[in-house]
Amino acid sequence: MQLYGYWRSSAAYRVRIALNLKQLSYDNLPVHLIKNGGEQHSDRYKLLNPAELVPTLIDDGLTLNQSLAIIEYLDEVYPEPSLLPQEPAARALVRALALDIACDIHPLNNLRVLQYLTGPLAINEAQKLQWITHWLSTGFAGLERRLQDTAGQFSVGDEITLADLCLVPQVYNAQRFALDMSAYPTISSVHHHCQQLAAFALAAPEQQPDAQ
C-alpha cells in the first residue's frame, strides 16, 4: 500500500490516522506542495491524480483520491476497528460532521486557495490571516454547537469515528494560525482525548519523514 501525501496536508493527515488505527503498513511517499512550483503539478503525479491534490492511495492496483473516499474504502476492506457506526442514523450523523469539516471548513483555508489570494488577488499577509481566522471561527462555531449534542469522549459518543479523523487535523490548522480555542471547549475536549492515542500522535505532521 502506498500513500502519496504532504506532511501538513489535512486530508493526508486524516488518512494517516485511519491507517494507523487499522494497523496497516504503507509506504509514505511525500509530494511537496511548495517546492519546485508544487510537485503535485508534475506530469508524473498528474497521471496518478489529475486533480493535482493529495492524498492519493494505491492499494492492490487500485488508485484512489479524496480522503473521505479513501477512509471509507479502508473501513470496508479492513473493517477493524470500524470508523462508522452500524446504526443508519448514527452513521449519517458521523458523515455529516465529517463533511462539515472536510467540505465546508477545510477547503476555504486550503493551500491552493491561500496561494490564489496572495498571488493573483494580491492580498497581504494580514488580510490572509484575517480570511483564515474568519472561516475557521465561523466553521468552528457551528461545529461546537453540533458536538455539544453528540460528543462523549469523541465527536459522537465514546467511540472513535470518521468525524474525529477530520476534527484533529482541522484543530491542528487552527492552532497553527493561533486561533483562540477558548470559545470551543467541546472541540478542544474531543481533540485532547484523540491526542492521547498513538494512532493520532504518530500521524501528526511533525512526525512525518518529510516534515520541515
Among 98, 100, 94, CA closest to 140: 100
CATH of domain 2-81: 3.40.30.10
CATH of domain 88-199: 1.20.1050.10
Q: Which residues pair with 28 in a beta bridge?
A: 3
Is the CB of residue 209 less than 8 Å from the CB of residue 165? Answer: no
3-state secondary structure labels for all residues of 1-39: CEEEECCCCHHHHHHHHHHHHCCCCCEEEECCCCHHHCH
Among 48, 153, 21, CA closest to 13: 21
For position 180, what pLDDT does the model report?
96
Q: 212: pLDDT confidence band, cut at 50, 70 and 90? A: confident
Q: What is the pLDDT of residues 68-125, one digit of tens each?
A: 999 999 999 999 999 999 999 999 999 999 999 999 999 999 999 999 999 999 999 9
Contacts (Cβ under 8 Å, ≥6 apart) of 186: 144, 147, 148, 151
- Long-range pairs, 35-41, Cβ under 8 A, ≥24: 40/6
Domain boundaries, the chain: 2-81, 88-199
